[in-house]
Structure 1
Amino acid sequence: MSWYESGGFTITRDKSKDSAGAGIRFRLSIYLGDGQTRIVELTKSDVQCIKREATRALKEKREES
């Protein structure tokens, strides 16, 4: 899937939102099509959870093949 297709996304570090209380912050940008993008702010824990779930899903897919 390309970033420019509907449902494409990127996760980037948002250093401007980092703080001692909030920790390291990230930005999830989801492309909805027709030039529309939605932004979701994430914590480091959120990104780690996404990575863990993606790894699990890919492992399940490999085991099915």
Structure 2
Amino acid sequence: MQLGKDTGLSLGFLAGTTLGSGIAFLFQFQAYEVVGSVSFFGIIGALSGLWTAIFLRQRQRQH
């Protein structure tokens, strides 16, 4: 299975929002802080998933 840009973006967003939700739960954030945490980590996760997909595709083409 190849990791395409859309898959990397989706998996990164899922991982980021899950991480943000977990952090918000551990620190017992209130509603606005939870939304901010989940949004922030979701964006970071989506960007890192997209970067990973692009990096792996370029690496695969080199070999």
TM range (shorter): 0.3 to 0.5
Q: TM-score, normalising length from structure 1?
A: 0.45
Higher strand share: 1
User: Which protein has greater RCO, CA pairs closer than 8 Å, 6+ apart?
Assistant: 2
